[in-house]
Structure 1
Amino acid sequence: MKYCPKCGNRLTTNDKYCDKCGTDVSNVTTSQLENVQRVQTNNVETKNSKLRRNCLIIVACVVMLTAAGVVFFTLQSENMNNSLPFISRKEKTDHAAARIGYTPNKKMSSKDTAGFTIAYAHMNFPDDSDWAQAYDKCQMGELDISSYPEYNFGDYDVKAPQGGAVYVVTPDLGYVVSDVNNPSDAQITYINSKKGAEKPVYFHTLAKKVAHSPHKNEVRSLGKKVEVVTKKTTPKKSDSELNSKTKSRDKLSWDDAKEKQLADFMDDFGDKMDQDYDEYNGDDALETNAGQKYPDIFEDTDFKLTDDNKVINIGWDPELKKDDDYHVVSIFNYDGDSDESHITYLFCIHDNQPVVLVDQTTNGDDVSVKETENADLKNGFAKIVNGDDSDNAD
């Protein structure tokens, strides 16, 4: 192989002329070829060196331009941060609460505080029918709240801390505000005569949760509708209250007259609910869609409360003479349209108190019951058991 001494074009051994530049290469010697090869190699190396140098220059320029761009963007971002407000999640929450009447360190009235507190209770205790009723009464403008230094909720004697107050929603429900002069910084403790005191919650936490709940638009309305009266001393038990407590301690009873009252009540209740209820007549078994036969089922099937899955001692006992925990005095059943669908109400006396259990069990070896959440049923049955002659049906 040889190369053209003029242009360096690669030639075959037999080539006489360079096909690129036309040079006569027939007399080119080996030394000339070596020189040509050396020159060509040097030229290639020179070109490669220049190429590498140019690449390095380009890379350096790109790096410098990139760095300059980063610096420029950072400076622009800082300028924007200095000129525009940055709202954190905490501040967003504060703004949401402010829109419904709460801001930190704001002087809030007892009515404002009550609006937030009632809304939070309704949201935080969804299964508590007592709080649900209190919420409904507040919406209708029928809720009166009184505050005391201390108050007795059933077996729980609640005393407010210094600077605080006990707010009585009903004889069985209430809440304690640890600092009535600064409620936005106070702790709220909910009280229930059945459960005692709930874990305290800071009012600012409570307000922010309400602000992001479906009840946020109702808070101001609740605060305006509720009535809050401050009492300086703990209420004394009046003669009527003492007589009422004495009456409640008297042993309850059940008879045919009360059964008829309940039957009339259930007729009205069924019309209201668009449900046709059958009454156990004391003779023929009352069979549900699920195949349960009352009252025979009490003898051979375990009844469990859905709340804790514990077996309860329950039986048919309208005369209240048996050794049962739940004395069933009346049974009403409604069968739904679908297979095994039914609603069976068991009207009971438990711990000398009227209780309405509901059974909707469709399968399994046990019967699951729970206390009904229907306020009409509970109040209507209680009035009948206690001998209240007022109209029971709405």
Structure 2
Amino acid sequence: MHMKNLQLATVLLAGALVLTGCNNQSKSNTAATSQTTSDHSVSRQSSSSQVIKQSSEAKQSMSSKESAPTALWDSHKDTQLKTFIDQWAPTMDQTYTEYDGQTPLKTSTGTVYPTDLAQATVAGATGVLGWSENGLGSYTYNVVAIYNYDGTHPPLPNHITYLFAFHNGQPIVLVDQSRDGAPILTETKNAQVQANFTQIASSTSN
């Protein structure tokens, strides 16, 4: 009888141990599942935040590109203008020197470009001209090219200086033939020069 009671106690103890193990395994599985779910949630939130950030950066980049003004003048157009001047000048028995954007261009009457643009007068106003490589700027006339011809026939000295510029975004050619004092610029009456500059300015660069 004592032996049976001992065997019964042993069976009950074993059963209790098995149940305890199952409960612990169940808790472990539940904790693992909870952790996995949490990890997936964090991963989704991180991925979502990254997408939103990338989308915001893309919009800012597009907005910046859209707001940037388009250049009105570039090296390709500058080359086209030089080609025209080189072909046109001989028909006028003239030879023009171009301001290269670095070395000052001095006329035979002593005017120095682009320095003297600040003193030049257009329609009675000074301080309205300035050098601009792309045609954009804060000046009334943004000058993109300057060509000068020093005369060889009396009365000397004399010169013809063409200034190619943009006025309110529109191409305009100004000319100076003053022989003393600050340059006095007027719109050219040479229709061929104005027409070619307008055509080049409105062309699309490759």
TM tier, shorter chain? 0.5 to 0.7
Tell me, in whole angstroms, the C-alpha distance in 2 between the residues paired with 1:388 and 1:374.
24
Tell me, in whole angstroms, the C-alpha distance in 2 between the residues paired with 1:268 and 1:326.
26
Cα displacement (A) at 1:318: 1.6
Cα displacement (A) at 1:319: 2.4
Q: Is the 8 A contact 1:330 1:346 kept in 2?
A: yes
Q: Is the 8 A contact 2:72 2:136 kept in 1?
A: no
Cα displacement (A) at 1:361: 1.2
Where does residue 167 of structure 2 map in the other structure? 350
Greater fraction of residues in helix: 2
Q: Is the 8 A contact 1:252 1:386 kept in 2?
A: no
Q: TM-score, normalised by structure 2?
A: 0.61
**Identity of matched residues, %:** 37
- With over 3 angstroms needed to count, the CA separation of the structure-2 counterparts of 1:382 and 1:271, relative to structure 1, is same
Tell me, in whole angstroms, the C-alpha distance in 1 between the residues paired with 2:196 and 2:128.
24
Tell me, in whole angstroms, the C-alpha distance in 1 between the residues paired with 2:204 and 2:75.
15
From 313, 318, 337, give the equivalent of 2:133.
Answer: 318
Stretches of structure 2 lacking an aligned partner (at least 5 in a row):
1-68
Q: Does 1:267 align with 2:82?
A: no
Q: Which amino acid aligns with 1:326?
A: Y
From 175, 184, 187, give the equivalent of 1:368.
Answer: 184
Where does residue 341 of structure 1 map in the other structure? 158
Q: Which amino acid aligns with 2:179?
A: T
Q: Which amino acid aligns with 1:346?
A: L
Q: Does 1:253 align with 2:72?
A: yes
Cα displacement (A) at 1:252: 5.5
- With over 3 angstroms needed to count, the CA separation of the structure-2 counterparts of 1:321 and 1:386, relative to structure 1, is closer
Equivalent position SS for 2:72: coil
RMSD: 1.9
Equivalent position SS for 2:179: coil
Q: Which amino acid aligns with 2:85?
A: M
- With over 3 angstroms needed to count, the CA separation of the structure-2 counterparts of 1:353 and 1:372, relative to structure 1, is same
Where does residue 104 of structure 2 map in the other structure? 285
1:250-309 C-alpha deviation (Å, 9 max, x unpaired):
95511111110000000111011110011111111111010111111124x2x223xx43
Q: TM-score, normalised by structure 1?
A: 0.33
**Which has the higher Rg, Structure 1 or Structure 2?**
1
Q: Which amino acid aligns with 1:343?
A: I
Tell me, in whole angstroms, the C-alpha distance in 2 between the residues paired with 1:252 and 1:378.
20
Higher relative contact order (CA closer than 8 Å, sequence separation 6+): 2
Q: Is the 8 A contact 2:135 2:165 kept in 1?
A: no
Where does residue 383 of structure 1 map in the other structure? 199
Alignment of 1:14-93 (within 5 A): none
